[in-house]
Structure 1
Amino acid sequence: MAGRTALIAGRGALPAHLARALAAGNEPFVIAQVEGFEMENPDGLPVETFALERLALLFDHLHDRGVERVVMAGAVTRPRLDPERIDPKTAQLLPRILPLLAQGDDAALRAVLALFEEDGFTVAGADAIAPDLLPDPGVPTRARPGSADKADAARAAGIVAALGAADVGQGAVVAQGLCLAVETLPGTDAMLDWVVATAGACRPDPGGARGVFLKAPKPDQDRRIDLPTIGPATIEAAARAGLAGVAVEAGGVLVLDPDATIARADALGLFLWIRPPCGSS
């Protein structure tokens, strides 16, 4: 029998979704949750919590549990480390980790990923467990993007590419060619809340295009970690912001519970566009 999979869990619904997929395939797994970043756990799954200050001890524990594959799932922002909690073995890793914590999220995640690999684990992406989370290109909703929406999405894609190159964010809202908001450390919900609060003053033509929220991975991102994610709640937030729809890069954005996400978009009159990456045919 193949070794266990460990889900290194952060906030959000993704870890539970992946756990269900593993259970459905009768694949053994454990969930190791980052302390302070509790996952959504509606199924009451058994979860072990670990502190980042004791990362090396986690490696030992996972080896003892027969773990061979690691999948990172869920949102984790850079925490403040408590020096008094750091064990001697983890302290040996700090000279490599600490300088990267002062950089962008991608740099920090790459460093953590490398540590797992050097300790003998295989690191896989969420789509290796649940390939249905990466839908094919197209528009699965009844509403469809118009020419103005497509132009706004293209403008947003350029903005996200520029932000991603600076390791800043993975989303932007554009309406009538104007950037209303970009995603930064507070995340998607905070960005869309800003649009709710300011949208009336930002759209020059009240009867014009309502705007598009676009989400895409960063350029050259290691797609095994930190892929952007949307779901039904994203659609609801976009509707509150008065947007016409949501566009995501095909192959680069996880869509949690695709059927429910599409149904919610249909109910609210928004489109969901699984948009081919820029430069593809």
Structure 2
Amino acid sequence: MSRLGIIAGGGALPAALAAADPDALCIAFAGAEVAVPEARIQRHRMEHLGALFSALRAAGVTRVVLAGAMSRPALDPAALDPVMTALAPRIMAAMQGGDDGLLRLVIAIFEEQGFAVTGAHDLLPDLTATPGLLTGPEPSDTARADIARARAILDALSPVDVGQGCVVASGLCLGVETLQGTDALLGFVAATPRHLRGRGGVLVKRPKLGQDLRVDMPAIGPATVQAAARAGLDGIAIAAGGVMLLDRPALLAAAEANGLFLLAEP
């Protein structure tokens, strides 16, 4: 069986993948904070992609999964190895656009180097949900209308590569997820005065239209639920099969404790 390489970023997902596959080679970039035990990590500089590809091949890796949050690096032009020097113009051009375009390029680069790129959800199928109400009360008619409104907003923004999350309350858009992420969006909603927003509302998390789900699949976890509760929302709606549920038991328990619904939509 081919060996897996885990390109690890922040959050719980890389650690879950590493625990599920003890033989996997775990890679993290210099300076990145990852939850995988340091003893299992091989560190590389972003400027030295040639060395990274060589290390993967030497370890027998044929498949890679990119997992966890990764920030856009500040590259040192003087430190680029020959492989990175050749790739730099394409990478720098992609970094001027949205995350989806950049991540598509990252996939293409790994594939050009002979590695198959797989999704975390393919390795851990329980990460995603089948359609249905996962926990909490049945969404009201108002909540379902807000879900439809948020979906329409996210679909409209997909062509410009912005946003995997949106909050709508009583038909009013209270915020759209941008580079700062879901926690920042929910913090912004929580700070919105009541007289402007009314009561309740729904967070909708979905992939962008046409998004390659092997990387950057939307995700929620217990902290998302807690932030949604602090923002006074009634629930969260996700795309079935298209959003990862991190630490699922704790996530569902948090939703139940806070009286929020969690709905997976087709």
Shift of 1:163: 2.0
Pick the aligned partner of 1:148 from 118, 142, 147: 142
- Pairwise CA distance, 1:94: 1.4
Matching of residue 217 in structure 1 with residue 216 in structure 2? no
In structure 1, what is the equivalent of residue 256 of structure 2?
Answer: 266
The residue identity in structure 1 corresponding to 2:34 is M
Give runs of aligned pairs for residues 180-195 of structure 1, distance below 5 A: 180-195=174-189
User: Deviation of residue 45 (structure 1)?
Assistant: 5.8
> Which runs of at least 4 in structure 1 moved beyond 3 Å after TM superposition?
none
What amino acid sits opposite 1:147 in the alignment?
D
Which is further off, 54-63 or 159-168?
Answer: 159-168
Q: Select 1:69's aligned residue among 50, 63, 77.
A: 63
- How far the C-alpha of 1:144 sits from its partner, in A, is 2.2
How far apart in 1 are the matches of 2:73 and 2:59?
26
2:163 maps to a residue whose letter is G
Deviation at 1:201, TM superposition (A): 3.7
Unaligned runs of 5+ in 2: none
Cα displacement string for residues 174-233 of structure 1 (whole angstroms, at most 9, x for unaligned residues): 001000011000111111110111142432x44xxx000010001111111110011111
Structure 2 contact 165–206 (Cα < 8 Å) conserved: yes
Corresponding residue of 2:237? 247
Instruction: Within 5 Å, give how 1:1-281 maps onto structure 2.
Output: 2-23=1-22, 28-41=23-36, 46-203=40-197, 205-206=198-199, 210-276=200-266
Query: 1:10, 1:38 within 8 Å by CA — same for their partners in 2?
Result: yes
1:267 aligned partner, one-letter code: A
Compared CA separation, residues 52 and 20, structure 1 to 2 (3 A): same
1:228·1:253 contact (CA, 8 Å) conserved in 2? yes
What code does the residue aligned with 1:182 have?
A: V
Q: Which amino acid aligns with 1:70?
A: V
C-alpha distance in 1, partners of 2:90/2:215?
19
CA distance in 2, matches of 1:45, 1:151: 49
- Which whole-Å deviations, capped at 9, do the CAs of 1:102-127 have from their partners, x for residues lacking one? 11111111111111011110100011
Aligned-residue CA RMSD (Å): 1.4
Report how many aligned residue pairs link the two structures.
Answer: 266
Amino acid at match of 2:184: A
What CA distance in whole angstroms lies between the structure 1 residues aligned with 2:106 and 2:256? 39
Instruction: Give, as a single letter, the amino acid of the residue that structure 1 aligns with 2:171.
Output: G
TM-score, length of structure 1 as denominator length: 0.90
Letter in 2 for 1:245: G
Q: CA-to-partner distance for each residue in 1:130-151, whole Å, 9 max, x for gaps?
A: 0000111111213221111111
Q: What does the per-residue CA deviation read over 1:240-267, in whole Å, with 9 as the maximum and x for residues that have no partner?
A: 1110011101111111122221111001
Is the 2:50–2:82 contact (alpha carbons within 8 Å) kept by the matching residues of 1?
A: no
Q: Which letter does structure 1 place at the counterpart of 2:53?
A: F
